[in-house]
Structure 1
Amino acid sequence: MTQPAYQEFLIHEGEGAIVRLAGMGVRVNHFDAAVRRGHDLSSRVSDVHPRTHKGQVMWAETVAELRTQLLDINQGWDIGQTDNYETVYNPERGIAIAVVGGDANCGERAFGQPKAARRRGPVTEKRIRRNVLGQQMFDLPEFKDPPRDDEQCDTWFLLLNARNNRMYLELSLATSLGSDSRFGLWKERIILPYISLEGVVVDPTEPDETEPPRVTVGRK
């Protein structure tokens, strides 16, 4: 979707980030626990596994632990999977969170804005349009059926980038994918404290949205 080349956005850091997260019903330790769980289990992947498996485990276990953390606080969080798009969401707060690998601008106030490590696809594009248009999004012709609860939320992206034995992370609200389909503009960025980790630290490798899932039906 076309947007102006320049857009003002909010950046929350330090105490401001903690306050902003509290307003969303989450805390820094929820994301810390999720990243540490993902790292712990991805570190157990051996050399005999496919090369991409470590990053896939990092993504899947981070998603799973973030869901566990937020479901445990019993404040309306639920598991979102519409269109196979994995989130944890809170319909009362109107917030969904997806985990995505980010680039080297992720997790700190840098010269450039952060982007995804890999190209995003049509579902992310639809979620970002919802971030911009709000509920009027569902008046568009593409919505023949009522949207699911997780689709009606603003989708925030937990961007993770591994460098220097640390995981840098931020929770940010995108308003554009950009011409390279790796995020363009942001409305808010909540920069979280980096997490020091031991051993090989890998970026999460989320499922490829640009390729439709393949379904193989065996002979009965």
Structure 2
Amino acid sequence: MPADRILERDYEVASRLDQLGLSASELISVVQQAVAAKANFVLNHPLNAAGQLSYIYGTGAVREVLRLKGWQIDRTDNIEATYNPETGMKIVFQNADSACDDGRDPKAISDKGPAASRAVDGGQMFLFPEYAEEEREALRRKNAALWYLFVYINGDDVRAELSFPKRIEDGQFKGFNERIYIIRRGEWASMIPGVAVGEGPAQDFEINVTRRT
């Protein structure tokens, strides 16, 4: 099912993220930390450790970036999210089996539970402010618009999108109100530091989080 709105051009992505109080560079830095964490997986770790490391450090990176701007840690219904009290928006880090593919909605690596389903359903009410105003303050945090930062990591193929699902059925997302492409296919190589031939691994470097044009 195609999303109601897909944003992939740099200028429209930047404009929409700015409306949400975000930037592409912030989200790219989150992805970089998640990728680095997943790369720390070794054979002696549990089989699911790579995904867990990515999720743990990805979630932490979202908070590290956004709490500096007034966002808050949120664990309503045991969902680890980052919440903006000014806009009523939450972001959840999500490992996914794909991202930035027009013909395919991102799918969570692990099925989503009933709490996530309720949270996604509750967040739809803020699409219609005329219905939300009466109870907005009391329900604002519980029924915040729940966005997911979907991150797909498969070797050198890394993609990411920030998307607002419509609902969850049978443990998976079913339809999206909006999908914002952050890292598209083929862009990852331009977003990681390079190592010159003959040099050892880079130790100290400044991460370049500018998008390729």
TM-score normalised by length of structure 1: 0.74
CA contact (8 A) 2:51 2:95 kept: no
Per the alignment, residue 183 of structure 1 pairs with: 173
Give distance in 1, aligned partners of 2:105 and 2:50.
27
Deviation at 1:68, TM superposition (A): 0.5
Distance in 2 of aligned mates of 1:167 and 1:48:
25
AA at the equivalent of 2:125: L
8 Å Cα contact 2:3/2:175 also seen in 1:
no
How many positions carry a matched residue from both structures? 182
Partner of 1:80: 74
Output one character per residue of 1:181-203: Cα deviation in whole Å (capped at 9) or x when no partner: 210111111011243469xxxxx
Q: Alignment partner for residue 10 of structure 1, among 5, 26, 44?
A: 5
Q: What's the CA shift for 1:53?
A: 1.0
Q: Report if the CA contact (8 A) 2:3-2:179 is conserved.
A: no
Aligned to 2:117: 125
Task: Tell me how far apart the structure 2 counterparts of residues 11 and 24 of structure 1 sit (CA, whole Å).
Answer: 15
Match of 1:116 among 105, 108, 115: 108
Give the unaligned 5+ runs of structure 2.
Answer: 194-213
Is 1:89 the counterpart of 2:83? The answer is yes
- In structure 2, the CA distance between the partners of 1:54 and 1:190, relative to structure 1 (3 Å rule), is same
SS in 1 for 2:142: helix
**Pair 7,43 (structure 1): closer, same or farther in 2 beyond 3 Å:** closer
Paired with 2:120 and 2:114, the residues of 1 have a C-alpha distance of 10
CA RMSD of aligned residues (A): 2.6
Q: Larger relative contact order (C-alpha < 8 A, sep ≥ 6)?
A: 1
Listed as ranges, the gaps of 5+ residues in structure 1 are: 1-5, 140-145, 199-220
Check the 8 A contact 2:3/2:177 in 1, yes or no. yes
TM-score (norm 2): 0.76
